[in-house]
């Protein structure tokens, strides 16, 4: 027990110390985690060989990340990506494999080892690249999207690679590893520690090729159909229970179940969850799922990066320092060259070209998986594999540096030159509407009707269901949760409308949003006077009392019923409205949220004064108010009193 | 021979009706004449949100259009100007295909605060009333409307105290009836700068025959 706690303590401590520091220095969180790993592993020796095991768990973070990426991507946009996915991805993988293989053969390796090395090095790090692109907000740029397409293709390509590797086995290594040959053929799941659980459970061992294909297709179909038809009733049912942790549990269950199913049939779990994410991208639970999975993904990915850092074998590295460094640099240059040619071929603009080239130039976490799989299958001799492992890890370690190169050196140069492409608006100004009751509905319809994007959040699953039937995009979730508000797009939104019933939560939302975004415009509905004051203190721009305007209209009709001319009735109620708003503004300054109004002496005093003022103002014989109604329209030379 | 029976639309604009006597009596008289539709614009659109479709249809449904208003700062009250800006659209009232009002008859019924002698060159207001109403006259012409000289009451405030107002109101009733029955002598009217209760040029019978 103390051992486990110590481990957790060390990892968390390293992350908490290193990551904020790295971010402050502008190095990005990934480099922070990697450095933290190096410090607790090779440098201080606080963690040792168990990092390998932890790494397999941590790789689940990649699975979760792809689920989240899928959630951001509607099926239609995935379809639109097909050209880039197959073209860019296919070319990147094939050309890199061929070039690496040629280089390796030139260095004197046999062709089978060279091909295996080509496979290992053709892959890039989904974890590092996506994490960094997201952090820098570059995901939606052309360079980011292209990079993502390539990564997705690589994820898919891992599956045939795993099938191919056992066929490359070297006879002289075979006797050491005869037990591993059982894995060949259908050969195990990939991604999260494939070779570990692949042997434990599999639905496809003993099946022939076409049967495996059939099972695979069935599994993918199950994920798509299940995601489309089953998850929504399920989540609705869970949402009705109004227990947040159960919703989180359900979200985790969904991801784990899909990953498990994919592993069983020998497909990539990352690919499976990605598909599930795409299927759920249109669902009302999208933002809730996002904010539930996000922290797990973040922690696991962080853990993964730490283990990469901690796993670097420094003794071996220093023994072969120049050789390993040389190999790493050559690898990065070669991969970058391939990527650069592709970016030219696909005619990207300069900023996107460099981003695409530098982002994907490393080897990735799938390289680890493939390497241990190749040694098990007697394809690559262990001594070579250990060196290659170092190259993979070092290239990952250098990636943040390449991003820094892009940020600090390349982008500023492009800015200075005339080649700078026009700023691409990736996100339009949107409105977040919290609460889609009778109040929020009207706002939503007016905004949507005039072509503004809205993201609507509500806690009532029934309500959401109904609105979805009317074609209103609504998401399930408690808008007072900061994480949900963030995944609904608080950071980019132009406007926040708070129209929920719960008085205290409305104030929470407003103060949170104001803290996060000093520049956002907030329109809030107030239920009563006190609520107005609280929202005012919390930082709402426009505060609308929910019954005030309707009451004003009703009083106008009442005046008209007494025969007052509509135009005059309008002016009379305007006098009242002006007075009242002025009063509420003065009173709001004296309001103290910690003190009941009746005990707030200055407030009560002003309240009484204002009441007297208003009464006086409205009585028809005070010159002040009524002159404002009469004034302009009196016949020249006459006096108001003549007409009363 | 068919009686012409023109339909008349009176668009009445007065923002301070509680303090009005002349226009109050004038509108009362107008609403008492058959075939007259009286629209109190300030009652209908107290918040200036004019319904363009309704207003255009109303114009199509009538043969004679009358603006009735007190002169405010040498012009129409704000809402009546807003009405012109919105309702007299391109393609409806003027411009390409904008012939929907062509051939209809138009006049304005104006009250002023100042006496007639103020409305002279060199007088306090420096312009004759007819000249001040030139924008309306030209608007009517552009829309293809037959412009009838304005029916005006000067010094309306003091008129309310003597018999000038009742005479003017009675003249208004006769003017509306004459327009309805097509008995106003248009040629004679065209020779006048302004119409008044005393100078209304009438004919015994309708001059044109309108087929329904």
Is the CB of A635 less than 8 angstroms away from the CB of B17? no
Chain B residue with minimum CA distance to A636: B113
Is the CB of A636 less than 8 angstroms away from the CB of B43? no
Strand bridging mode B64-70 / B146-147: unpaired
Chain A residue with minimum CA distance to B46: A567
Is the CB of A566 less than 8 angstroms away from the CB of B15? no
CB pairs below 8 Å between A and B: how many?
44
A512, A516, A520, A525 alpha-carbon torsion, rounded to 10°: 0
Chain A residue with minimum CA distance to B45: A567
Q: Is A636 on the interface with B (CB under 8 A)?
A: yes
Residues 434-473 of A with CB under 8 A from B: none
Instruction: Kindly report, residue by residue over A543-581, the tens digit of the pLDDT.
Output: 999 899 999 999 999 999 998 889 888 988 888 888 888
Is the CB of A636 less than 8 angstroms away from the CB of B46? no
Chain A residue with minimum CA distance to B22: A635
Enter the ipTM: 0.81
Is the CB of B42 less than 8 angstroms away from the CB of A567? yes
In the structure, what pLDDT confidence band is assigned to residue A97 with cuts at 50, 70 and 90? very high
Please tell me which of the candidates A570, A632, A637 has its beta carbon nearest to residue B46.
Answer: A570
Chain A residue with minimum CA distance to B17: A565
Instruction: Kindly report, residue by residue over A284-326, the tens digit of the pLDDT.
Output: 788 888 888 888 888 888 888 888 888 778 888 888 888 888 9
Please tell me which of the candidates A568, A636, A637 has its beta carbon nearest to residue B18.
Answer: A568
Instruction: Tell me the chain B residues in contact with residue A643 when contact means C-beta distances shorter than 8 Å.
Output: 18-19
Q: What pLDDT shows up at residue B49?
A: 93
B15-40 mean pLDDT: 92
Is the CB of B43 less than 8 angstroms away from the CB of A635? no
Could you tell me the two tokens for B137? 């006259």
Is the CB of B47 less than 8 angstroms away from the CB of A570? yes
DSSP per-residue string spanning A98-159: HHHHHHHHHTT--HHHHHHHHHHHH---HHHHHHHHHHHT-TTSHHHHHHHHHHHHHHHHHH
Chain A residue with minimum CA distance to B158: A635
CA atoms A171, A177, A181, A187: torsion sign: negative
CATH architecture label of A7-185+217-411? Up-down Bundle (1.20)
Q: Is A637 on the interface with B (CB under 8 A)?
A: yes
Measure the CA–CA gap between A498 and A539, rounded to whole angstroms. 12
CA–CA min distance A566, chain B (Å): 5
Q: Is B161 on the interface with A (CB under 8 A)?
A: no
CA–CA min distance A567, chain B (Å): 4
Is the CB of B19 less than 8 angstroms away from the CB of A635? yes
Contacts of residue A354, defined as CB under 8 A and 6 or more positions apart, other chains included, come to A143, A406, A410, A414
Q: Do residues A278 and A70 lie in contact, with contact meaning Cβ atoms separated by under 8 Å?
A: yes
Residues 166-205 of B with CB under 8 A from A: none
Contacts of residue A186, defined as CB under 8 A and 6 or more positions apart, other chains included, come to A163, A202, A204, A205, A207, A212, A266
| Phi-psi category of residue B91: left, alpha or beta, with phi > 0 → left and psi -120 to 50 → alpha | left
Q: What pLDDT shows up at residue B25?
A: 94
Q: Which of A553, A565, A632, A642 is best to mutate for the B interface (most B CBs within 10 A)?
A: A565
Residue A421 has pLDDT above 50, yes or no: no
Instruction: Tell me the chain A residues in contact with residue B18 when contact means C-beta distances shorter than 8 Å.
Output: 565, 568, 630, 643
Average pLDDT of every residue of chain A: 80
Residues 576-635 of A with CB under 8 A from B: 630, 632-635
Please tell me which of the candidates B16, B42, B44 has its beta carbon nearest to residue A634.
Answer: B16
pTM, two decimals, is 0.61
Instruction: Kindly report, residue by residue over A122-156, the tens digit of the pLDDT.
Output: 999 888 888 888 877 787 788 888 898 898 888 77
Q: What pLDDT shows up at residue A418?
A: 42
Instruction: Kindly report, residue by residue over A520-530, the tens digit of the pLDDT.
Output: 999 999 998 88
Instruction: Tell me the chain B residues in contact with residue A567 when contact means C-beta distances shorter than 8 Å.
Output: 15, 17, 42-43, 46
Instruction: Kindly report, residue by residue over A2-35, the tens digit of the pLDDT.
Output: 777 888 888 888 888 888 888 787 777 777 888 8
Q: What pLDDT shows up at residue A626?
A: 54
Is the CB of B19 less than 8 angstroms away from the CB of A643? yes
Residue A181 has pLDDT above 60, yes or no: no
% chain A with pLDDT above 70: 87
CA–CA min distance A75, chain B (Å): 44
Is the CB of B156 less than 8 angstroms away from the CB of A635? yes
CA–CA min distance A578, chain B (Å): 16
CA–CA min distance A537, chain B (Å): 33
Instruction: Kindly report, residue by residue over B59-109, the tens digit of the pLDDT.
Output: 999 999 999 999 999 999 999 999 999 999 999 999 999 999 999 999 999
Q: Is A568 on the interface with B (CB under 8 A)?
A: yes
Residue A62 has pLDDT above 70, yes or no: yes
Could you tell me the two tokens for B9? 């639309």
Instruction: Tell me the chain A residues in contact with residue B47 when contact means C-beta distances shorter than 8 Å.
Output: 570
In the structure, what pLDDT confidence band is assigned to residue A200 with cuts at 50, 70 and 90? low
Are domains A7-185+217-411 and A428-546 of this chain identical in fold?
no
Q: Which of A371, A325, A397 is nearest to A119 (CA)?
A: A371
CA angle, B88 then B93 then B97, to 5°: 140
Question: What's domain A428-546's superfamily in CATH?
Answer: NAD(P)-binding Rossmann-like Domain (3.40.50.720)
Instruction: Tell me the chain B residues in contact with residue A636 when contact means C-beta distances shorter than 8 Å.
Output: 113-114, 157
Please tell me which of the candidates B18, B47, B156 has its beta carbon nearest to residue A565.
Answer: B18
Instruction: Round to the nearest angstrom and report the end-to-end CA distance of chain A.
Output: 90
Q: Is A569 on the interface with B (CB under 8 A)?
A: yes
Is the CB of B15 less than 8 angstroms away from the CB of A638? no
Measure the CA–CA gap between A623 and A581, rounded to whole angstroms. 21
Instruction: Kindly report, residue by residue over A451-471, the tens digit of the pLDDT.
Output: 888 888 887 777 777 777 776
Domains and CATH numbers, chain B: 8-190 (3.40.50.360)
Residues 14-43 of B with CB under 8 A from A: 14-20, 42-43
Chain centroid to Cα A114, Å, comes to 38
Please tell me which of the candidates A566, A570, A633 has its beta carbon nearest to residue B16.
Answer: A633
Residues 537-566 of A with CB under 8 A from B: 565-566
CA–CA min distance B155, chain A (Å): 10
Could you tell me the two tokens for B197? 């209760």
Please tell me which of the candidates A566, A634, A635 has its beta carbon nearest to residue B46.
Answer: A566
H/E element holding B175? helix B164-181
Is the CB of B19 less than 8 angstroms away from the CB of A630? yes
A144, A147, A153, A156 alpha-carbon torsion, rounded to 10°: -80
In the structure, what pLDDT confidence band is assigned to residue A194 with cuts at 50, 70 and 90? very low
Q: What is the residue extent of each domain of chain A?
A: 7-185+217-411, 428-546, 558-638
Instruction: Tell me the chain B residues in contact with residue A637 when contact means C-beta distances shorter than 8 Å.
Output: 113, 157
CA–CA min distance A616, chain B (Å): 22
Q: What pLDDT shows up at residue A283?
A: 80
A153-181 mean pLDDT: 68
Instruction: Kindly report, residue by residue over A210-264, the tens digit of the pLDDT.
Output: 787 888 888 888 888 888 888 888 888 888 887 878 888 988 898 899 888 888 8
Q: How far is CA B12 from CA A140, B24, B27, B108, B121, in A?
A: 59, 10, 8, 10, 29
């Amino acid at each position: 027990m103390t051992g486990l706690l110590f481990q957790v303590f060390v990892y968390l401590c390293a992350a908490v110390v290193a990551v904020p520091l790295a971010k402050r220095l502008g190095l990005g969180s990934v480099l922070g985690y990697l450095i933290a790993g190096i410090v607790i592993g090779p440098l201080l020796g606080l963690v040792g060989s168990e990092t390998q095991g932890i790494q397999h768990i941590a790789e689940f973070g990649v699975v979760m990340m792809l689920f989240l990426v899928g959630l951001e991507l509607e099926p239609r946009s995935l379809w639109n990506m097909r050209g880039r996915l197959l073209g860019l991805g296919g070319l990147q993988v094939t050309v890199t494999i061929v070039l690496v293989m040629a280089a390796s053969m030139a260095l004197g390796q046999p062709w089978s080892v060279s091909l295996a090395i080509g496979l290992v090095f053709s892959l890039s790090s989904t974890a590092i690249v996506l994490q960094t692109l997201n952090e820098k907000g570059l995901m939606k740029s052309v360079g980011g999207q292209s990079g993502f397409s390539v990564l997705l293709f690589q994820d898919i390509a891992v599956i045939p690679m795993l099938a191919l590797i056992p066929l490359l086995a070297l006879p002289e290594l075979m006797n050491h590893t005869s037990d591993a040959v059982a894995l060949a053929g259908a050969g195990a799941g990939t991604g999260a520690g494939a070779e570990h659980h692949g042997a434990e459970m599999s639905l496809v061992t003993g099946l022939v090729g076409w049967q495996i294909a059939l099972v695979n297709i069935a599994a993918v179909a199950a994920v798509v159909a299940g995601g489309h038809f089953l998850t929504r009733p399920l989540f609705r049912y869970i949402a009705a229970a109004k227990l947040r942790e159960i919703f989180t549990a359900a979200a985790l269950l969904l991801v784990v179940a899909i990953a498990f199913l994919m592993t069983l049939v020998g497909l990539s779990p990352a690919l499976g969850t990605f598909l599930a994410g795409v299927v759920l991208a249109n669902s009302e639970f999208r933002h809730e799922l996002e904010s539930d999975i996000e922290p797990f993904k973040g922690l696991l990915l962080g853990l993964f990066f730490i283990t990469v850092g901690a796993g670097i074998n420094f003794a071996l590295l220093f023994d072969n320092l120049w050789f390993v460094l040389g190999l790493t640099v050559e690898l990065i240059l070669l991969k970058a060259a391939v990527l650069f040619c592709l970016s030219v071929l696909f005619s990207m603009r300069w900023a996107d070209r460099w981003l695409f080239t530098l982002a994907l130039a490393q080897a990735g976490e799938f390289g680890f998986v493939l390497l241990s799989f190749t040694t098990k299958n007697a394809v690559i001799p262990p001594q070579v594999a250990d060196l290659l492992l170092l190259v993979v890890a070092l290239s990952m370690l250098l990636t943040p540096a390449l991003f820094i190169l892009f940020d600090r050196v390349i982008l500023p140069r492009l800015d200075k030159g005339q080649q700078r492409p026009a700023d691409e608006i990736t996100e339009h100004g949107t409105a977040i509407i919290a609460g889609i009751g009778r109040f929020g509905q009207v706002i939503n319809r007016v905004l949507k009707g005039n072509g503004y994007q809205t993201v609507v959040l509500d806690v009532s699953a029934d309500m959401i269901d109904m609105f979805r039937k009317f074609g209103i995009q609504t998401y399930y979730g408690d808008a007072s949760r900061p994480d949900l508000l963030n995944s609904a797009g608080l950071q980019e939104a132009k406007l926040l409308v708070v129209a929920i019933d719960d008085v205290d939560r409305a104030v929470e939302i407003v103060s949170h949003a104001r803290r996060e975004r000093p520049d956002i415009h907030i329109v809030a509905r107030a239920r009563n006077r006190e609520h107005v004051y609280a929202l005012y203190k919390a930082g709402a721009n426009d505060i609308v009392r929910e019954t005030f305007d309707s009451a004003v209209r009703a009083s106008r009709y009442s005046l008209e019923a007494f025969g007052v001319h509509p135009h005059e009735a309008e002016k009379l109620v305007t006098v009242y409205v002006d007075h009242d708003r002025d009063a509420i503004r003065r009173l709001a300054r004296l309001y103290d949220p910690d003190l009941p109004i009746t005990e707030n002496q200055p407030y009560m005093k002003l309240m009484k004064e204002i009441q007297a003022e208003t009464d006086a103002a409205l009585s028809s014989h005070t010159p002040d108010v009524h002159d404002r109604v009469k004034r302009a329209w009196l016949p020249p030379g006459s006096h108001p009193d003549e007409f009363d | 021979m068919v009686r012409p029976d023109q339909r008349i639309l009176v668009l009445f604009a007065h923002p301070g009706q509680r303090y009005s006597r002349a226009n109050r009596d004038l509108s009362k008289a107008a609403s008492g004449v058959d075939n007259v539709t009286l629209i109190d614009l300030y009652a209908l659109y107290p918040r200036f949100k004019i319904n363009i479709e309704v207003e255009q249809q109303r114009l199509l449904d009538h043969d004679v259009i009358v603006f009735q208003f007190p002169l405010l700062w040498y012009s129409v009250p704000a809402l009546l100007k807003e009405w012109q800006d919105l309702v007299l659209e391109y393609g409806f009232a003027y411009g390409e295909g904008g012939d929907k009002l062509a051939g209809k008859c138009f006049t304005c019924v104006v009250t002023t605060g100042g006496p007639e002698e103020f409305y002279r060159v060199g007088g306090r207001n420096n312009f004759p009333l007819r000249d001040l109403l030139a924008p309306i006259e030209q608007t009517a012409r552009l829309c293809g409307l037959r412009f009838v000289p304005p029916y005006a009451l000067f010094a309306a405030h003091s008129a309310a105290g003597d018999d000038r107002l009742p005479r003017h109101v009675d003249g208004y009733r006769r003017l509306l009836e004459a327009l309805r029955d097509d008995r106003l002598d248009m040629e004679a009217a065209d020779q006048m700068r302004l119409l008044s209760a005393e100078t209304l040029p009438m004919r015994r019978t309708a001059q044109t025959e309108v087929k329904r």
